[in-house]
Amino acid sequence: MSGLPAILIVQGAVFLLWALLAVRILLHLRARARDHAGHMVPRPAEWVSATEEWLADREEANVRRVLLLLSVILIGLSIWGRMR
């Protein structure tokens, strides 16, 4: 039980990084969708198109890997915290 606060602090820090990256990705996707749409509020089809392009974009591969890694770490910390 003595390590629980440390786990919570690490989990909170990882979650903060994950959340900041997720917001950055969403804002980037919104900008891509807006560029496709040509107007301020993109339609769902434009969001889907922008997301497909982002997933296929090799320059964004590292961002996707970091998001996946942070997600796996968060899940692992959650499981580890429950097992203790």
pLDDT of residue 6: 84
HSE value, Cβ hemisphere, 13 Å, CA-based, for 3:
9
SS3 state at 38 = coil
The residue among 77, 82, 80 whose CA lies nearest residue 10 is: 77
Residue 42 CA to residue 36 CA, distance in Å, equals 8
pLDDT of residue 2: 63
From first CA to last CA, the distance across the chain in angstroms is 7
Tell me the average confidence (pLDDT) per consecutive run of 10 residues in the chain, 84 residues long: 78 97 96 87 90 94 97 94 79
- The model carries a pTM of 0.84
